[in-house]
Structure 1
C-alpha cells in the first residue's frame, strides 16, 4: 500500500511539474499594407516583464503563463495591437501603418509551420527578456515564387540608321513592373529578369513636363545629353504630357469592379488589400458616377447592381461581404462585367471595367489566346479595361499585362496601401479617364548625325513602321495628366563602338538612299499619332530634336532621374548594354534629381537602389546580413 501511495505521489509531482512548464508560442509579424515581414517588432506578455523581438523574417518565440495569454505587439511606425491567444499553434499578426486606415484585415490567422531555424526556444524565467534571434538567417528561397509567370523579353539592340531610319512603338503608361520589382527587393530578393520592364520603371515617376498650351490634348518634349553609362554615346529623351483635367470637369463614369474572390486571393495582401483599394476609389466617386460589383471564383456573380457613386455606404457594405474561396473562372467574370458595363453604358462617358486579381485563371477562358480575343472583342464596344495586380507566390504578370494591353486600359501592381492611394486618389484622373487612345510614336533619325540607335525598353510595344499610319492598329492610351517617357541610346556618326550592328554586304540591285543635303543641326524628328476617345481617325503632331552634346550633369533634373531609373533597370536585367553602369552611379545621379517629390517616391527609389546593391553584394558572397537596415 505504501508503495502504491508513493507511486501516486510521484505521478502527481510529474503532472504538476509538467503543468508548471511555460507554453512556447511562435508567431510572425507582418505589415498589413504590404504583407512584408516586420523586423524588430516588440512582443510583450501583458502584465509581465516577458518580451521578445521579431527577426528579419518577422518571426518570434515567446512563452505564456497559465494566468495570462494576451500579447501586446508594437513596431516603429505602426499601430500597436493586443492579441488574445487561444492555443499555442503558430499564428500571424498584421500591423497597420500609423495614420492609415486598413479595411477588413482580419488577423491573426493560422499560418504554415515556421522554418526549423525559427524555432529556437526561449529560456523559462519569470523576468526573462528574450534576445533577438540570429539575424543572419538565409532569405526565403527563390523557389517560393516559382509559380509566378512573366513573359520573356528580348532586349532591344542597336539598329543601323542607314538600314532602319525609323523606330515605331506604342506608348505605355503601365507602371506594374516598378512596384513588382520594389516588392521583390523589399522582401530581400532580386527580381526575375523578365519581371523588369525598363519603360514601366521609368514611367512610374512624374517628370514635371509642361502642360499642353494649344488645342491638342498632348504635347511632346525632347532633350539630349551625354549617356551616363557610356560617355561616347548620347541619350535622347522623348516626353509626352497629357493635359490635366480637373476632377469636376471629368466625364461621368460607369464602372464595374470585377474582383477575384477565388481561394488564391485569401492572403492579407490580396483580397483585404483589394477591398481597401476599392474603398479609396469609392470615396472619389461623384453623384453622376455609378458602380457595379461583380465577383468570380468557381463561377461569376453580381454582388452589387449599378449604384450611384454618392451611395458610398452601400458600395462599401457590398465590399465588406467579400470572402475568398474556390477556383478561378476569370473568363466568365470578364464576360459578366462587360455585360453589366454595356447595359449601363454612358454615351461620351467613361465606361470601364476594373479587374483586381493575382491573374491565376484556371476555369473557363484562361489561355492567353482566349483572353486576348475576348478582350479585343469587348473593347470595340467602347468599354475600356484597367487591370490591378495583387499578391505574390502565384502572381501571373503575363496574363494581366496582356489583358490591359488588349483592353485599351492601364496596368498597375498594388503592393501596399500607399500604392493603392496613389493609383486611386493621387492619380484618380489618369487611372480612370482616357484622354487620348491608340497613341503611337515614330522617330526618324538623321543619318548625318546618328550612326545607330537603341530604344531602351518597350520590347513588347514595338510596331511595324507602316503601322504608324494605319488607324486600324491598336496602340496605347494616355489618361488625364499622365506622362510617357522614352529614352534612346544613340551612337553618333564617327564614334567607334563595339555595340554597332554587324555590317552587311553591299546590295546589288538597290542603291543606297540618296543622302541629299547634309543637315547636322537635327538629330531626329519625333511624330505622334493619337485619337480622341470617341474618334476612329487619328491626328498627327511632330517636333524636331536638335543635335546637342551637353553633359549629363547640366541636363534637367527630370532627365537625370529618368536616366538613373533606366540604368537601374539595366543593372537588374544584367543588360548586355549596361557598359559602365553601377549602383553607385545610379544613386549619385538620382540623388541630384530629387526636386519636386512631395510624396517621397524619388527618395524611396534611392533607398531601393541601395537595398538592391546590398542584395547583389550579398548574393555574390553567398551571405545575407542585415541588408534592409539601410540609411
Structure 2
C-alpha cells in the first residue's frame, strides 16, 4: 500500500491536504503510554497527506506458507499470491512486549547501499498469552471441507489429524462444534463442552470422508448459524474454516459470503480463522473471507506445521488483545523525499479514516507481532525526525479506543543494513526483498537472490533457527527456478558489507 504517495513512492502531490489529529510521540522513540482519544480534543496538525501511510493490521501468514509449498514442488508461486507482509509476519522479532493489553511500538532502521535509501521497520507487539487456566474459554466452530478435491494426500487427512491433536489440547471448559460441507453443509456436532466428550469428538472427526463438489458458501453460512446458536457470552467465539478454498458450487463469489460474515461479526463478535491446505489452494478467496471476518489465515502442508498451528498457536492465541487495529505512519517532509510501504496493498485505509472506528481494522491476538517495512529515501544532508508511527485499536471487551506511538530520527538509523549486530532487522529485510523479487518488484537496494540466501543462511547459523533455515532453502530454490534472470537484477548490494553479525540464540527465536 502506498497511501499518500504515488506507485513509485513519490510524495510530492496534494501538499495542502491534511489527515486527522494525532497524539505526540513518546520521547524515547519506542512507544508512549496508551491514550484514549477523547472527542473534540485539539491536537497539532498532521503532515501533508502524501506523507501519511495508513493500513489495517494483518497477522496472516498463508502467502508465505503456500509459496514455500509451491517452491518445494519445483514451481514458482503466482506473483499475485505473493504478499510481502505475510512473508515478513511469518517470523517473530523479539520486540518489547507491553505490560497490559494493546501494543508496544518499536521503530528501527538502517541505510542501504542504494544512495539515499534506507529501510525503516515499524514493529508492533501484544502481550503474550495468559497461562492456560487464566484465558477465557473458547467456543470454536470448525467448518471442514470434505469435497472431492480434499481427497489428495495432505488435505483432509491432515485436517483430521489436526483436529484430533487440538481436541486433546483444549480445556474442559472450552466448547467445539463441527460443520462439514461439500455440495451441501451438514452439522455433525452442535456446540458442545469438551469435558467428558473428547472420545465423541474424536469419533466424529475420524469418520470424516470426502464426497462431491465444494460449496464454501453453504459451509460458511451454516458454520456461522451454528456459531451464533452456540454463542457463549464471555468466551472467545471463533469460526475455523479448514479448506483448499476451491469453491465450485453454490455462490462462488466471495462478496455475498463476506456480507453474511459481516453481519454476524458485528453483532456477535465472531471472528474467522482460515487454515488452508492443498497443492492447489484458493489463496485469494480464503484471504478475503478472513479479512472480512476480522480474522487471519495460515497455511499447513505437513504434520509438523499442523501441530504448530493447532497445539502452539490456536489454543494460546484465542484471546484477542485488540479489535479493529490500524496503524498510521507520518513521515517528516523536511527529511523524507519519498517512501514505499512493502506490501499491505489490500489492507489500505484512507488516511482520514484512521480514527473512524466504524472503518474496519484488523484483529490481533495474544503474543502476536506485526511488522511493516518501508523503503525510505531521505533528502540529501537533512537530519532530524524521520517518522512517527501510531497504532489505534479498540479494547476487545469495552470497545474503548486507545492509541500508542513511537518515533525515530535519522541519527537512529544504522549506517549499514548488513553491518554486524542487526540480525533481526536483516531477517525482516531478507524476507521482504525475497517476496518482492517473487512478484517482480524493484525495491531499491535489493540484493540478488543468491546473496539473500547467504544472508539468511548466516542468520540461521548464528541463531540456530529452523524456520530461518527453511527460508534459506526456499530462496535457493527460487534462485534455481528463476535462473540467470535472478542474478541480472539486484546487484546493488551483492558485494556490500559481509553481514557478520554478533549474537546467538537457543531454541528458535524467530518461530511465530
Pick the TM interval, shorter chain.
0.7 to 0.9
Q: Which residue of 2 aligns with 1:531?
A: 394
Once the two structures are superposed, the pairs formed by residues 105-504 of structure 1 within 5 Å of their partners are 157-160=8-11, 163=15, 164-213=50-99, 215-227=100-112, 230-245=114-129, 246-310=131-195, 311-380=197-266, 381-393=268-280, 395-429=281-315, 431-494=317-380
Cα distance, 1:203 vs structure 2: 0.3
Cα distance, 1:470 vs structure 2: 0.2
When residues 433 and 599 of structure 1 are mapped into structure 2, their CA distance, relative to the original with a 3 A threshold, is farther
Once the two structures are superposed, the pairs formed by residues 18-167 of structure 1 within 5 Å of their partners are 157-160=8-11, 163=15, 164-167=50-53
- Normalising by structure 2, what TM-score? 0.82
Measure, in 2, the Cα distance between the counterparts of 1:536 and 1:407. Answer: 17
2:112–2:445 CA contact under 8 A, matched in 1: no
Figure out how many residues of one structure are paired with residues of the other and give that number. 441
Cα distance, 1:430 vs structure 2: 5.6
Q: Determine helix, strand or coil for the equivalent of 2:133.
A: helix
Q: Does 243-252 or 482-491 show the bigger shift?
A: 243-252
Cα distance, 1:603 vs structure 2: 1.3
Measure, in 2, the Cα distance between the counterparts of 1:243 and 1:595. Answer: 29
Segments of structure 1 that go 5 or more residues without pairing to the other structure are 1-154, 496-518, 622-631
Q: Which residue of 2 aligns with 1:613?
A: 479
Cα distance, 1:547 vs structure 2: 1.6
Q: Determine helix, strand or coil for the equivalent of 2:329.
A: strand
Q: Determine helix, strand or coil for the equivalent of 2:393.
A: strand
Cα distance, 1:216 vs structure 2: 4.0
* 1:583 to 2:446 alignment: no
Deviations 1:132-191 (A, max 9, x none): xxxxxxxxxxxxxxxxxxxxxxx9530316640111011110000001000111001111
Cα distance, 1:578 vs structure 2: 5.3
When residues 455 and 156 of structure 1 are mapped into structure 2, their CA distance, relative to the original with a 3 A threshold, is farther
Once the two structures are superposed, the pairs formed by residues 490-569 of structure 1 within 5 Å of their partners are 490-494=376-380, 520-548=383-411, 549-550=413-414, 551-552=416-417, 553-554=419-420, 556-569=422-435
Measure, in 2, the Cα distance between the counterparts of 1:264 and 1:385. Answer: 22
Cα distance, 1:558 vs structure 2: 0.9
Deviations 1:229-270 (A, max 9, x none): x35301100110110022222110111110011112111111
Cα distance, 1:363 vs structure 2: 2.8
Q: Determine helix, strand or coil for the equivalent of 1:247.
A: coil
When residues 583 and 620 of structure 1 are mapped into structure 2, their CA distance, relative to the original with a 3 A threshold, is closer
Measure, in 2, the Cα distance between the counterparts of 1:161 and 1:247. Answer: 51
Q: Determine helix, strand or coil for the equivalent of 1:594.
A: helix
Segments of structure 2 that go 5 or more residues without pairing to the other structure are 1-5, 16-49, 488-512
When residues 580 and 526 of structure 1 are mapped into structure 2, their CA distance, relative to the original with a 3 A threshold, is closer
Cα distance, 1:555 vs structure 2: 5.3
Measure, in 2, the Cα distance between the counterparts of 1:488 and 1:468. Answer: 19
- Supply the RMSD in Å over aligned alpha carbons: 2.2
Cα distance, 1:390 vs structure 2: 1.0
Deviations 1:13-43 (A, max 9, x none): xxxxxxxxxxxxxxxxxxxxxxxxxxxxxxx
Q: Which of these two proteins has the greater Rg computed from alpha carbons?
A: 1
Deviations 1:554-598 (A, max 9, x none): 453211100011111122112133554211221232234337867
- Normalising by structure 1, what TM-score? 0.67
